[in-house]
């Protein structure tokens, strides 16, 4: 977990309104995922967080934004991890089938790609945070960036990121 991410989630945990009850709709993110993986638009990423902020009193506060965006980020992060494991298992199977053919490892390439992507995501999101000059918008900006890029990578792995 990056320093910026820890700061963003620490704000959520220590906010003055931490005992407020916020409602987040996982089903909306699932619908987004289902549509995006069936070839429809990916424009829905962030829509569950937006609805959460709009429907909850205090949803547009820093605490509310961190909570709502953080919930959607957590959903996409779980999907990313699941898709990565699935694609890695398929990649290892391809490597086994291609053993002795002197071709690059598919599993190794996937691992290297994912590690490079994590660095790209973290660097991109820290750059977004830097534009807020330590203002209160830095936390939601970081969470939103992490959510958006994580969703994109999860959908990439779920779809055209592999041939299986």
Q: Is the pTM of this model over 0.95?
A: no
**What average pLDDT does range 54-59 have in this prediction?**
93
d(C-alpha 144, C-alpha 146), whole Å: 5
Does residue 48 surpass a pLDDT of 70?
yes
Nearest to 21 by CA among 55, 45, 69: 55
Residue 15's pLDDT is 45
The three-state DSSP-derived secondary structure of the chain is CCHHHHHHHHHHHHCCCCCCCCCCCHHHHHHHHHHHHCCCCCCCCCHHHHHHHHHCCCCCCHHHHHHHHHHHHHHHHHHHHHHHHHHHHHHHHHHHHCCCCCCCCHHHHHHHHHHHHHHHHHHHHHHHHHCCCCCCCHHHHHHHHHHHHHHHHHHHHHCCCCCC
Query: Residue 37: what are its φ and ψ, rounded to 5°?
Result: -80, -10
Residue 6's pLDDT is 44
Does residue 38 surpass a pLDDT of 80?
no
């Amino acid at each position: 977990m990056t320093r910026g991410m820890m700061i963003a989630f620490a704000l959520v945990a220590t906010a003055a309104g931490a005992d407020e009850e916020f409602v987040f709709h996982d089903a909306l993110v699932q619908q987004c995922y289902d549509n995006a993986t069936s070839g429809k638009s990916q424009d829905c990423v962030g829509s569950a967080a937006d609805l959460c902020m709009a429907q909850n009193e205090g949803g547009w506060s820093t605490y509310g934004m961190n909570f709502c965006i953080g919930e959607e980020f957590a959903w996409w992060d779980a999907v990313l991890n699941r898709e990565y494991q699935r694609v890695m298992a398929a990649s290892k199977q391809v490597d086994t089938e291609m053993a002795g053919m002197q071709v690059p490892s598919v599993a190794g390439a996937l691992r290297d790609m994912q590690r490079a992507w994590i660095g790209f995501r973290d660097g991109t999101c820290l750059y977004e945070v830097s534009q807020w000059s330590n203002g209160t918008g830095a936390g939601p900006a970081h969470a939103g960036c992490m959510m958006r890029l994580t969703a994109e990578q999860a959908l990439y792995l779920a779809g055209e990121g592999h041939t299986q």
